[in-house]
Structure 1
Amino acid sequence: MNRAILYAAASPLVIGMASTAALAQAVPVGNTPDVNATPQDAVAAPTQSDDSGEIVVTGIRASQARSIEVKRNADSVVEAISAQDIGKLPDVTISDSLQRIPGVQIRREAGEGGAVNIRGLPQVTTLLNGEQFLGANSVTTVQPNFTDIPSQLFSGATVFKSPTASLQQAGLSGTVDLLTRRPFDLKRGLTLSAAAEAQYGDQTEKFSPSVNGLVAYNSEGFGLLVSAAYSDLSLGNSFRGIQDYGVSLRNEGGSATNPGDFAVGNNGVSRGTAVRNGAGQIVGYDVNGDGDANDAFITPQSHTAWNRITDRKRLGINASLQFQLNDALRLTADGFYTKQTQYDRTAGFQFQNVDWLSSPYLPSASRDTGAVVGGYNLNTVQTYAYDLPSFDSYAETFRVKSESQNYNLQLDWEASDRFKATVRGIYGKASRKLDQSYAQFSLTDGSQWGYAGVGNYPASLGGDVRFNPTGYRVFSQKATVDYSSGEPVFTFPQAFLDQTQNLGRYGLKTISSENNVYQDGDIWALRADAEWEASDAIKVSFGGRYGERSVDQFSFERVSPFYAGNTDNPANPAGGCLVKWKAFDVNLGDPKCSVLDASGNAYTAGYTRQGNDPRFAGIVKQYDLPAAGTPKLYTIDPKAMDDSEAFQNSFYPGSINNVNPADSFSITLRQISGYGQVSGEGELLGMPFRANGGVRVVNTRFTVRQNVVGDPQPYGVSGVDAGDVFTKREFTDFLPAFNIAFDVTDKLRARAAYARTMTLLDFLQWGGGLNVGYAINTAFNPPRFEATTANSRGNPQLNPWRADNLEASLEYYTGRSSLVAAGVFYINVASFIENATITRDDIPDNDGVIRRTVPVNTVVQGKGGTLKGLEVSARQSLADYGVDGFLGGFGVDANYTLSLGDTGRTDLAGNDQPFQDNSRHQVNAALWFEKYGLQTRVAYNYRSKRLVSSDYSGFTGLAQYQQPTNYLDASISYDLLPQITLYGQASNLTAETERYYLTFPDQVLNENIYERRFIAGVRAKF
């Protein structure tokens, strides 16, 4: 086997000036590398036995061998995964397969692999066959998320950990290149492949179908390939704990006139023991019995438990057309299309605060952490006693329609043995449209809102004048929530449990549709790459690229008109108000838009129908919920809300899509880049080496349109769009990259690499709107609304992500399917994005006149940080060591990653905060067997705790962490005939629960429970 290294002497200057070919390459056994190989050459084309073209290498061992081959012959530090057969990646999803690579971490969504990190950072660029890929889940974001992309369409993926200068689109910490098949990758003649399978989840208890197929023809001069995959999946997961509405800190103490948050409960009864000063005045209440009033407690705004069924109808189509025009020219055209409709249907319950500021949760078991916040000793809470001021069942549905198209046209020209070039154009567009709908029942009579059990919705307009007259009177019953075991346990009084089984005791409380987001984006680019072999030892590569990208995000809420013409309010002579939360507890008495009855009393918003009202017939069901002590509860069937707009209009006709200006924006971006590189091969200190180096120059220009947000409107409606602000930016980056590899022995290769990388921000960080707060100044006639404060979700003055990356590694190749490798890496991130308050002098008052500087809470450029770590991996096949028979079928694929991040921040416990979303330790281990037509594999993944957010609910240092996770997956297949394979797969065999806490492990936040999933199918190929 040639090592693909030329042993010609070369000047030491080559080490510093060397450069690579455009992309990583793999070398078939016994051949020298094709330095202009396209990415799909890396793993897609299996070795062929002879001129018959019959494919003879498939399965786990062949997949591992191809991945090792890619790594060995690459011009930089890369890892690869390769399909075991047509339509068969090693795991169910692309993300699940990628997590087996050292340094790659993923998050699961509905149990399937979703978002991807490389070396603890989400700033990862995604390519498709070597050029930028625009997916529907990344229209406005940088982090890859592959939940909408069928894995069966790919031959594999390459992860670039150290870029070459010619990799014209590179991520901050790494790049994922998704590889589809092309007809010239396959055997001559006709290739047919198809598979059908059924998936089953132990929560959904439903079989879900999935099919995929491929048709390809290769005549060597002409090739055509079409592959498609379709699935209709139902995925189940559950949630219980503190709801992500946030938490607040409640204290025992205060002043003599304001003796603390726990002075009086919602039932008017003092809570805790009164603490008095020397004058006998009450200065606080001792809640935890330690004799003072100097404690503060973490208090949630809501506790919840729910079940969610995620339905995904996913279609993917890949087509490729190739012409070998002559010995020098090859034309390739590719198209890749995905479409997915996803419904997240949730049914659950909530313990809620009444006004979001009160404290109905009395800490009945707590612990002093030793931390001090605002002068109070911070306590974690293990058990809450709850006054039951508001207990609600609810349903929520998110519908996400996503679609993406990516096209490529490329001409490869091999002018001679020493000069090659490629001209390429791409175009892509994607859209993601998220619609939300929410409906809520309450089991109370509504008296806690001050209506004495009587609503104020006129019967003439279709509502009952009383709210839930059979609901329980507030504070008459008590409940507890116990987190001491780590798993939330709910305890209810028996009288309340009995009441929950009577549908007539439920009353409709709220209907809403908010946080709807529509995103559209497109991208196009032209590029040219060339390589000139100046001598047997030196190659020169150069190229350029021009690309444009545009993004538009429209965020809105569905608001409904109420009571038009039913008011004499002179400020609103036409009558009627737009309302976001159609709810009995929304009192329409705001002076900006009041709606009064004949007696001058304000109406409430929302129908006040009971659960057994005929209007709910057929759309109300009873559900089991995933928390100990929870009864079966009635709520609206989430499927009834699949069409959010139609559901809203069925209760409140004439709904309007009201823009949320703060989250609506558009960006147009243009990038011009070019690179120059030199690569060299030779011998140094008696060792053959291969080196490359060069520089990429990127000029970026973009224009951001932000909305200026006016005063918030009554009844939850977002502030008006008060105009647009346009910002133009331009910056140029010089991005050097150097890689060198030494063949210490025939089997041992040493590598070193340095690169400077740049990645664009998530577009919301540039484009989020400006929300201005106004105060009325009555000293003027007419009164003047003056800008006093502002919040900005985005800041167009932020710089992109930039980092310097260093790494070194050793690779020991012990066989075709065997490798042991170890490496270290160091990433120095120039700056992180942080929250801060700045002042601006360009914000006008409501009359358009700028009069003062205004403080703005926004995102700003923060300090940088470093990420360093170690990666160790071993891929071993016993057959490579001469083991025959049954034992020769065994192999292992294992790796460990240590990732240490230093952000310079600490949490409330004094612990150093790691990089967000990064785990310090990750372990992957897979044991496989392949013999006698049988293939089996058991794979294990471990992630240590990770930081989810640094300042949960806005409290500095109150960090949200996820506890360590362990996932166990398995697969088995058997070749019934040479052309027919039966297979099965199981994921999450241990039914792992993902648990979260706030800074202190005994301050439990919540947990996700994902179902076990099983697959059985048959695959055929000809």
Structure 2
Amino acid sequence: MKHVLLLASAAPMALFAAFASTPALAQTATPQEQQQAVQPDAGVDEQAPVAQERATRSAQGRSPGTQATENLGDDSNAQVADEGRSPEEIVVTGYRASLGSAQAIKRNSDAILDAIVAQDIGKLPDNTAAESLARVTGVQVNRFSDEVSQVLVRGLPDVATTFNGRDIFTAELRRSQLQDFPAGALAGLEVYKSGTADLLEPGLAGLINVRSRRPFDFTEKFVLAGGIRGTYNDQNKKYDPLGNVLVSARGDTPLGEVGVLLNASYQQAHYRNAVRWADGFVTNPSAGTTIVPASVGRDFKIPAAVGVYNDSGKRWRPAVNASVQWKPAGNLELYYDFLYQGYRGDIANDWFRAPLLDNNPTLSNIVLVDGKPDQVESLTKTGGFRPEAYRSTQHGYTNTYQAAGGAKWDIGPAHLSTDLAYTRSEYGSDEWSFDTAWTAAPQVDVDFFVKGGSSFALPGFDAENPANYKWRGYYESIYRVQGKGWQWRGDLDLDTNVSLFPKLQFGARWTDREASLERGNRYAYTETLGLTLAQTPAQPLGLTQNVFRGDQGFTSWLMPTRAGVAGNAEALRQFSYDSLVKIVAANPNDQGYRDALARFATPNIQLNPQDSFFAEEQTYAFYGQTKYEFDVGSLRVDGLIGARVVNTVGKYSGISSVFFDGVRVSEPRVTKANYVDILPNVSLRFRPDDKLQVRFGFTMTRTKPEFGQLNPALRIDQNTAPITGPILPDTRFPLALQGRPVAYGSGGNPDLQPLTSKNYDASVEYYFSQTASITAAAFYRDLNGFINNFTTRTIDPVYGLIEISRPENSGKGRIKGFEVGAQTFFDFLPGLLSGFGVQANVTYLKGENRFPANLFLAATGSATPAPFVKIPGLSKWTYNTALFYEKGVISTRLSLNNRTAFLNNQFLPTSDFYDGEGTQNIERLDFSFNYTPIKQITLTFDAANILAKPFNNYRQYAQDRSYPRDIREEGRYYGIGARFRF
């Protein structure tokens, strides 16, 4: 389908939508404070009251959709001029101003939300949008590779993302990777926990809007601002640069007022994490395993292996956004916005595995845990299967573009807006992995409980001797996903002049999305040749870097450098091809080797059609909403009543395949979808006075499965892995499904249904100054169809035992909890003490859902309803505390983030205990310091992850029985820099 971009006909920037007749409720700055704010040398604490007042007035009376797409401060020029003040001399900066602005947004919104506002140009509280969100009430995050990799709102990952109110996505996903938004490009973030009809359909967890700056945000005619910063990682001893620069200009022309803004940022980070891990497969030793002394018995369970994983790399993110605004008349604005954000990553990950149970080893020196005769404290393993390792080198990239244009037009009581946007995003990854094996099985001394993880040593093993290693194989892969789409939105907000229903809102939205995936790989298994590492092109060799803190046992082994693998990819491909020629000559009837040889016969990796999918989807949405308000004595009552109707039409295609006995049979599969969602919303707010407000809300939401989850293809491959001993029992499955699977299957699930939820919210908010408040909220989610990946086994009448992993809809579920937050500056204290301030919030969550009924029946044989189990990824408690000091030219913050233990997954229950993996309590302490010697320059110092507490996983396998799964040590980061604004 072809489309034409018409700037005057685009998806809405949402306008000044709600209740214009509502009087401002915020407190105002005193004349003395106003006078102080215009002094050229006024400190940030003196400027803050006026800045907060401007933000409060600008946020007042806006609907969530407007607030998400319209930046604060647009009308502040006129407001400030009315008070006889010079707008150019008011600088919105400092913690007071950012907290005050965020509080104003929360206070005046019709939706229940929390916000973060950049304290200055280029300065959110953290390096990326995702990191800053970890400090918001009700938000939890998962971290990997020294950065936030996933954001959860009230324990759930199903979050819609928008950029200036428009849908934005990364590659084939329905949401954006928020860590790709550098702080230097952003003005603020809003986390919507309850939706309204004029908002883009939020996910079950809500909606996160990322807000950038636009030229009409600034009162000055010209602004040049930005910053530069350097960081140091104490774990890998690397230095990295970060920076941003913003140029904005606005002025009157014969054609009307015009504003132009350009903002560019760059962010770079080296990282290296160190992980000690134990296998998640916990089982009894087989009958062939020798136990010394035999008196210990054989009833204990241990992890099947232990190992080390070093996650390292360099990533850098360039970003550019631009905006043009034009007001040919006082009631008409046209605009154009552009965004580019990129990601580049060079990765070198090292992995080592020492088997403990494979190939009938001898286990000796066994020390059982006190009071737990079925659990082992430490042991020695000799014989059995040899260890193995790899170095995986990768290069990854993301390119995301969004271009949009639109118009806003006020005609008397009618406010019209329209916005059209096009988004294109791609992600690609190329991998080159060099695999090694030990020439013999050394002794392994293991202690399963050392400072939260498993530690082991290989006594007598010379890690630097190349003769102790052999080449095990070489792997290459390519991975390409992309998405593109158009979106249009038009809105009408009508001021009715009817006191009971002062505003009506109507709108329509259309989207056209495409998403696709292509990938391919090839592997040369060469261990049978017995080649030494020195005989391969992967040179030079060296010990892997040890970045563990303290003595952790065996941590380093011999490997090629990253350049020796990724930099020698062509030579390794040819060497692998030549090696496979020899192996095929010795094994002419082995189809697996012959297929591998064919894949390495070409310079480029062939894409595998069986691993691809393609999706196209259109949505047609319409909404209507009314604002109501009335007084009951001195009690003001207002709220929204509305509904959004969304029709989704989709087509999803892939190729299913079955591979057995060297023959692959493939079949294209296509599924279609066409369904309608009706999403009502009702809210009610009581305001007894200008400080207190009580809210109630009801909404219905639905979250669509990811495009990859809807892939109708299922791939089944025969299990051709070598047998290294007796088949160990797997406690995840019942007795009837034990044994060695004949085949493994994986794929999407075209029968997945959207996750639906009925959401109930209530909050009490008390604002006792411009930067001081205490708020509390309670919520309940009645949900159905939560999507998780499940691994199941089934007996196929043709092939036998097959193990399949695919996403499934769970049954009914529920989440409930509450949030409490407070913030204040101690202005009532004398002198320097008045610069102190605190902010704190705590969130309690409890959530559970049923397993899919069909899988529960297959696993247990019971027709009773599946039990309620905990929802993975949900921490019971999350809290944030921050201590501020801001006075004159100094501004500091010390903040602590804590998240209690949570589950990572749930296996299907086979008994009355929890069988799965979880993560222990996570705690993080950060510090920042700002010094402003002159108004235009701020010098900064910050330290992140000061405590450097390790990340701990555990594997529970029986009632009150668990082993450490892995323990990950992450880096501390120190930064020093400067920000400027002229």
TM-score by length of 1: 0.78
1:247 aligns with 2:281: yes
Name the counterpart of 1:541.
Answer: 505
Which amino acid in the other structure matches residue 523 of structure 1?
G
Separation (CA, whole Å) in 1 of partners of 2:364 and 2:613: 43
Is residue 670–residue 712 contact of structure 2 (8 Å, CA) maintained in 1? no
Query: Which of 266, 273, 284 is matched with 1:230 structurally?
Result: 266
Residues 52-97 of structure 1: per-residue CA shift (max 9 Å, x gap): 4333221110000000000111011011000010010012221121
String of CA shifts for 1:531-553, please: whole Å, max 9, x gaps: 11112432110101110111101
| Counterpart residue number, 1:916 | 872
- 1:271 aligns with 291
Rounded to whole Å, the distance in 1 between the matches of 2:535 and 2:485 is 51
1:969 aligns to what SS in structure 2?
Answer: strand
Partner of 1:415: 411
Selected match of 1:628 from 546, 552, 560: 552
**Residue 277 (structure 1) aligns with:** none
2:827 is the alignment partner of 1:823: no
Q: Given that residues 700 and 756 in structure 2 are in contact (C-alpha distance below 8 angstroms), is that contact kept between their aligned partners in structure 1? A: yes
Which of 59, 68, 76 is matched with 1:39 structurally? Answer: 68
- Matched to 2:417, the amino acid is T
Residue deviations 1:669-699 (CA, integer Å, cap 9, x gap): 1111100111112213641122101100011
When the two chains are superposed, the root-mean-square deviation of aligned CA atoms in Å is: 3.5
* SS of corresponding position for 1:652: helix
1:772–1:208 distance in 2 versus 1, CA, 3 Å:
closer
What is the match of residue 848 of structure 2?
Answer: 902
Residues 642 and 332 of structure 1: CA distance in aligned 2, closer, same or farther (over 3 Å) = farther
| CA deviation profile, 1:621-642 (whole Å, cap 9, x unmatched) | 5533636122642211124334
Tell whether 2:446 aligns with 1:480: yes
Indicate how the Cα distance of structure 1 residues 478 and 309 shifts in structure 2: closer, same or farther if over 3 A, else same.
Answer: closer
State yes or no: 1:1012 paired with 2:968.
Answer: no
Change (3 A) 1:478 1:1008: closer
Counterpart amino acid of residue 695 in structure 1 = A
Counterpart Cα distance in 2 of 1:856 and 1:391: 28
Match in the other structure for 1:524? 486
Query: Contact 2:223–2:249 at 8 Å: present in 1 too?
Result: yes
Structure 2 CA distance for partners of 1:91 and 1:772, relative to 1, 3 Å: closer
Please tell me whether Structure 1 or Structure 2 has the larger radius of gyration of its CA atoms. Answer: 1
Could you say which structure has the higher helix fraction?
2
Instruction: Give the conservation status (yes or no) of the 8 Å contact 1:876–1:893.
Output: yes
Partner of 2:473: 510
Contact 1:168–1:696, Cα closer than 8 Å, also in 2 = no
Letter in 1 for 2:471: L
Match of 1:973 in 2: 930
Superposition deviation, residue 963 in structure 1: 0.2
Amino acid at match of 2:400: S
- Tell me: CA distance 1:973–1:173, structure 2 relative to 1, closer, same or farther (3 Å): same
Residue pair 1:98, 1:104 contacting (<8 A) in 2 also: yes
Alignment correspondent of 1:188 = 220
Equivalent position of 2:236 in the other structure: 204
Task: Assess if the C-alpha contact under 8 Å between 2:645 and 2:678 holds in 1.
Answer: yes
| Alignment map for 1:959-998 (pairs within 5 Å) | 959-998=916-955
The corresponding residue for 1:944 is 900
Match of 1:889 among 829, 832, 835: 835
Whole-angstrom distance in 1 between the partners of 2:238 and 2:420: 44
What amino acid is aligned across from residue 557 of structure 2 in structure 1? L
CA, structure 1 residues 998+612, in 2 after alignment: closer, same or farther (shift >3 Å)? Answer: same
Structure 1: state its 5+ residue gaps: 9-24, 252-260, 275-285, 371-376, 445-472, 560-579, 586-603, 776-787, 847-851
* Whole-Å separation in 2 of the counterparts to 1:693 and 1:369: 61
Deviations 1:294-315 (A, max 9, x none): x352432x32113332201210
The one of 783, 792, 801 aligned to 2:755: 801
> In the alignment, which residue of structure 1 is the partner of 2:13?
none
Task: Tell me the alpha carbon deviations over residues 28-47 of structure 1, each in whole angstroms, 9 at most, x when there is no partner.
Answer: 44996356845254557696
The one-letter code sitting in structure 1 at the alignment partner of 2:377 is: Q
Q: Distance in 1 between matches of 2:368 and 2:951?
A: 23
Unpaired segments of 5 or more residues in structure 2? 1-17, 24-52, 578-601, 720-741, 860-865
Deviations 1:371-395 (A, max 9, x none): xxxxxx9x44433432253133431
C-alpha displacement of 1:99: 1.3
Q: Alignment identity in percent? A: 25
What one-letter code is carried by the residue in structure 2 that aligns with 1:198? G
Once residues 517 and 196 of structure 2 are traced to their aligned partners in structure 1, the CA distance between those partners, rounded to angstroms, is 34
Higher mean C-alpha displacement, 1006-1015 vs 764-773: 764-773
Q: Does 1:434 align with 2:382?
A: no
In the TM superposition, residue 660 of structure 1 has moved relative to its aligned partner by 5.1
Structure 2 CA distance for partners of 1:830 and 1:423, relative to 1, 3 Å: same
Secondary structure of 2:750's partner? coil
Shift of 1:250: 2.7
Q: Map residues 159-198 of structure 1 onto 2, 5 A cutoff.
A: 159-198=191-230
Answer yes or no: is the 8 Å Cα contact 2:810–2:850 preserved in 1.
no
Could you tell me how far 1:518 is from its partner in structure 2? 1.5
The one-letter code sitting in structure 2 at the alignment partner of 1:522 is K
Q: Distance in 1 between matches of 2:409 and 2:315?
A: 42
Measured in 2, the distance between the counterparts of 1:74 and 1:30 equals 12
For residue 533 of structure 1, what is the amino acid of its counterpart?
Answer: D
What is the alpha-carbon distance in structure 1 between the residues aligned to residue 73 and residue 319 of structure 2?
19
Q: Distance in 2 between matches of 1:109 and 1:698?
A: 35
1:839/1:977 CA distance change after superposition, 3 Å: same
Match of 1:60 among 81, 84, 95: 95
Aligned 8 A contact 2:627 2:641 in 1: yes
Q: Which amino acid aligns with 1:390?
A: R
Q: Which amino acid aligns with 1:584?
A: E
Q: TM-score normalised to the size of structure 2?
A: 0.81
Per-residue CA deviations over 1:555-577 (Å, capped at 9, x if unaligned) read: 321x2xxxxxxxxxxxxxxxxxx
Query: Cα distance, 1:150 vs. partner?
Result: 1.5
CA distance in 2: counterparts of 1:33 and 1:992, whole angstroms: 44
Change (3 A) 1:897 1:357: farther
Compute the displacement of 1:191 (Å). 0.4
Select between 802-811 and 388-397 the one with higher mean Cα deviation.
Answer: 388-397
Map of 1:100-119 to 2, 5 A cutoff? 100-119=135-154
Decide whether the 8 Å contact of 1:490 with 1:630 is kept in 2.
yes
Q: 2:819 aligns with which of 871, 879, 882?
A: 871
Are the aligned partners of 1:836 and 1:860 in contact in 2 as well (CA < 8 Å)? no
C-alpha distance in structure 1 between counterparts of 2:59 and 2:574, whole Å: 69
Are the counterparts in 2 of residues 353 and 390 from structure 1 also a CA contact under 8 Å?
no
Which one-letter code corresponds to 2:943 in the other structure? A
Deviations for 1:469-488, whole angstroms, at most 9, x for unmatched residues?
A: xxxx446x453343254232
* Structure 2 match to 1:929: 885
Q: Quick one: distance in 2 between partners of 1:948 and 1:150? A: 28
1:721 CA drift (Å): 6.8
Q: In the TM superposition, what is the alpha-carbon distance from 1:990 to its structure 2 partner? A: 0.5
2:334 matches 1:334: no
Superposed CA deviations along residues 301-350 of structure 1, whole A, max 9, x for unmatched, are x3211333220121000000111121221011111101111122123532
Conservation of the 8 A alpha-carbon contact between 1:317 and 1:337: yes
Residues 387 and 441 of structure 2 are in contact (CA less than 8 Å); yes or no, is this contact kept in structure 1?
no
Quote the residue 1:131 is aligned against: 166
Assess if the C-alpha contact under 8 Å between 1:663 and 1:768 holds in 2: no
| C-alpha distance in structure 1 between counterparts of 2:891 and 2:154, whole Å | 31
Task: State the match for 1:464 in structure 2.
Answer: none
2:291 is matched by which residue type in structure 1?
Answer: R
Structure 2 CA distance, aligned partners of 1:658 and 1:360? 44
**Conserved? CA contact 1:428–1:522, under 8 Å:** yes
Correspondence 1:550 to 2:514 = yes
